[in-house]
Chain A
Amino acid sequence: MMKMRSLVLTGLSSVLSAIVVGNAYIQKKQFYPSVVYITKSNSSMAVLYLQAFVFVVLMGKLCRKIFFGQLRAAEMEHLIERSWYAVTETCLAFTVFRDDFSPRFVALFTLLLFLKCFHWLAEDRVDYMERSPIISWLFHIRAISLITVLFLLDMLFINHAYYSTLLKGASVQLVFGFEYAILLTVVFMTLTKYILHCIDIQSNNNWENKAVYLLYSELVTGCIKVLLYTAFMIIMIKVHTFPLFAIRPMYLAVRGFKKALHDVIMSRRAIYNMNQYYPDATEEDLQSTDRVCIICREDMIRDSKKLPCNHIFHTSCLRSWFQRQQTCPTCRMDILHVPRQQPAAQQPPQQVQQQPQPPNIQNMFPGFPGMQMWPPAPPVPPPMAQQQQGGTQPGTSLPDGTSGAAARTSAATTTTSTSPTTAPLTGTAPAIGVPYMGPGVAIPPMPQMFMPTYPMNMMNSFPSPPTNMAGMSDEELHEMEGVERQNVEARIQWLRDIQSLLDGAMLLISQYNTVAANMSMPGITTETLSTSERAQTSTGVPMPRTSPPQEGAWSKGGARSKVSNPQDKNIRKAQSASSLYSDRNESKTDLTELEGAAGYTSPNEEMIPAWNDPNDEEHSDEMDEVRKRRLQHFSSSSSLSSLSKQDDENINTQSGFQN
């Protein structure tokens, strides 16, 4: 139908022009007079202009056939939509330059319009490369030749505009110059895309950095476009008048540039976050899943990343997704805001942990049952999971969201209150842990095998220092981090000391108990001995078990020392602090477990009078000495439990001698 109409139109216009020309020739008989006749007659000129227009359209169609072949429906739609805007803008431009309105001028604008159309089509075509599974040689030849032709034409027109402006001063050529300069950037962008796509097609596996290159090239061309338009605006306002026709493309250029900039920033942030917070998926991680990246549905052989919610994706897939949205594609856990909001806003820790799991997610993704959920918390934590619980424990034990400062002061009070426990006030030692460990605290254990050594979730559990870090620059943060790290280092050292002291205190308690039992019931020495040994070993055990996590956390912190993240400190703090708490907790539970065991009674006030044995005098002196020696051990030695055991045996034999 469309074809029929255009055919009829073409035929009609050729017939008309033939009539006009024939008429003139018949009237004037000679070439020159007939030309003069035609140019003098407006109606004949109109017919001839129409004919010229038809010729141009036909030429355009021919070029299109040569360079593009059949246009796809989407391309056609795109083209028509854009050309309407272009035609309107050209008409607006005519109003500005109505003084030098001439056929030549119209012809130049028409040519510009056609070239614009070809640029758009070239862009669309090159974009199509990414979508089609079959790219023929013809396509490559066409694309390359088209890009070359467009480039040459653009250069030619820019050159022409430049020299005519130099020679004749500012004229309409200014507009053409700028228009072709803009088109040149389009050509460059198209060429870049074409090259990138070609490289991508040539390489056998996915070229991951392609998206990044595309982003940056878009940013650069966007920037150039915006600069060109701004310059054009300024010059036009100075020379002619406000260029109304350039408003829309300029707005589009600015918007495109803004988007490109935003994309680049988001992409950079995503890459930064991924490198910073999320570990590469290990072989075991991959084996525990079906090895398919759910974003691109391909096998994960290339490098992949594991999110804090344990979902694994390709690094490149994740990056392009994070550019749009900072959530886990599978469970929609807010990725960026888990670590990022923390320094700025002091949220109650539990809220953040639970918020990202929508209730219906498990139904939606049956392939991942419970992986993103916390398993229901058992009432008594298994001792093996202690390391993992370390971070979350403070969160639950300080549910009111007290700041890190408060935690610090609490640690400080522990120091002051624990130091007396090294003195013979044995009965109070277990009680210290109680205020921090509520009796009914249920600890949500992390899924053990998935729990990374890199506890993202735990960041929630410890509130951050109160300063608003969002407003600080990277340098300031680095600087602060330097100081903070030393502080944290010192704090951890303190906490270790406190821990050693506490352990010492616990040993003392058990020993005193043993001694007391021996004193009060001199008959059953052997049995009390064995129980006391049992008590010692059970209290001694926490030491070697809890110190490795600290060590681990610390060395990990050291390895990542370049990383500037206040949360890391929180983790370390949390881990060390919680290992302290849990330590106490364990020793407490040990004591209660021991209650009722043969010969053992938990230390309390009633037991103390039993020590006032008549022949206790020199014995207690000796104990003092032993205690001093042990304290020295604690402050110096690391292989503590073995030494203290030896010591205890010494004491026991000594007390046996005494008896």
Chain B
Amino acid sequence: MAGSALKRLMAEYKQLTMNPPEGIIAGPVNEENFFEWEALIMGPEGTCFEGGVFPARLTFPPDYPLSPPKMKFTCELFHPNIYPDGRVCISILHAPGDDPMGYETSAERWSPVQSVEKILLSVVSMLAEPNDESAANVDAAKTWREDRSKFNEVAERTVRKTLGL
């Protein structure tokens, strides 16, 4: 038997492979290290990201699930809540102590009850509905707010890029 973090990650991996949620695939990069995951997220239907498949990388801390994992898109993604370098900025990924934007109540922060599945589902809903109140990418937030058609255009371009077109 190994550490509790490892056991929990294995349990989550099993759960995710047994009944995967729609539009999400996730698993460890290799079976030797369960603390690095790769995830593929499909752009939610009916949004400007529809049809895209966005790869992301999840890095789990040794004390998972007491601390949240980090998530980073490995593709280019123009979105108000994703930093230009791909890091995802959503409240569920922040430990209750730190608050980079000062917006979040502790109720929506990380807690051991959360899981990889919940994180990925939150990311899907974040893709569908950007939160321009606490923007990680200010340019994207501005475009999203003021010039929606341009935002959609950029999104379409990234979608096409991720599909290799």
Contact = CB atoms under 8 A, between A and B. Distances in A.
Contacts of B5: 130-131
Contacts of A205: 1
B96 interface: yes
A562 interface: no
A296 B4 contact: yes
B6 A133 contact: yes
Contact of A358 (B66, B97, B105): B105
Interface stretch (A319-327, A387-395, A399-407, A468-476): A319-327
A132 B113 contact: no
A200 B1 CA distance: 7
Contacts of A296: 4, 7-8, 65
Interface in B9-36: 10-12, 15, 31-35
B111 A298 contact: no
A317 B112 contact: yes
B112 A295 contact: yes
Given A72-B33, A205-B1, A329-B112, A130 B62 contact: yes
Contact of B66 (A132, A134, A324, A361): A324
Interface string A400-426: 000000000000000000000000000
B3 interface: yes
Nearest to A318: B112
Interface string A124-140: 00010111111100000
A127 B1 contact: no
Interface string B47-65: 0000000000000001101
A259 B35 CA distance: 24
B106 to A, nearest CB: 6
Q: How large is the interface on A (under 10, 10 to 19, 20 to 34, 35 or more residues)?
A: 20 to 34
A646 interface: no
B165 interface: no
Contact of B113 (A72, A203, A330, A360): A330
A365 interface: yes
Chain A: interface secondary structure? loop
A203 B1 contact: yes
Contacts of A295: 8, 65, 112-113
A434 B75 CA distance: 71
Given A127-B62, A131-B33, A365-B113, A298 B6 contact: no
Interface residues of B, number: 32
Contacts of A40: none
Given A133-B2, A298-B11, A329-B111, A321 B66 contact: yes
Contact of A201 (B2, B31, B35, B65): B2
Given A130-B62, A329-B112, A330-B113, A297 B2 contact: no
Contacts of B113: 294-295, 329-330, 365
Contact of B10 (A133, A201, A332): A133
Contacts of A317: 4, 112
A360 B3 contact: no
Contacts of A133: 2, 6, 10, 31-32, 34
B1 A204 contact: yes
A361 B32 contact: no
Given A134-B32, A332-B106, A361-B107, A297 B1 contact: no
Nearest to B59: A74
A206 interface: yes
Contacts of B96: 325, 327
B44 to A, nearest CB: 19
Contacts of A127: 62
Nearest to B9: A131
Nearest to B109: A332
Contacts of B3: 130-131, 197, 200
A132 B4 contact: no
A195 to B, nearest CB: 15
Interface in A180-219: 197, 200-201, 203-206
B11 A297 contact: yes
A464 to B, nearest CB: 26
A298 B10 CA distance: 11
Given A133-B2, A134-B32, A317-B4, A332 B66 contact: no
Given A131-B33, A131-B34, A320-B66, A206 B4 contact: yes
B2 A358 contact: no
B11 A132 contact: no
A177 B108 CA distance: 50
A297 B13 CA distance: 12
A135 B33 CA distance: 11
Contacts of A332: 106-107, 111
A20 to B, nearest CB: 46
A130 B95 CA distance: 22
Contacts of A134: 32
B95 to A, nearest CB: 8
B112 A294 contact: yes
A298 B7 contact: yes
Interface string B94-124: 0111000000011110011100000000000
Contact of B32 (A132, A320, A321, A325): A132
A105 B118 CA distance: 56
A131 B6 contact: yes
A298 B65 CA distance: 13
Contacts of A72: 33
Most buried by A among B12, B62, B107: B107
A325 B105 CA distance: 15
Contacts of A330: 111, 113
Interface string A300-326: 000000000000000001001100110
Contacts of B105: 358
Interface of A: 72, 127, 129-135, 197, 200-201, 203-206, 294-298, 317, 320-321, 324-325, 327, 329-330, 332, 358, 360-361, 365
5 contacts: A295-B65, A295-B113, A296-B8, A298-B11, A317-B112
The 3 A-B residue pairs whose C-beta atoms are closest, nearest first, are A130-B3, A358-B107, A295-B112
Interface of B: 1-8, 10-12, 15, 31-35, 62-63, 65-67, 95-97, 105-108, 111-113
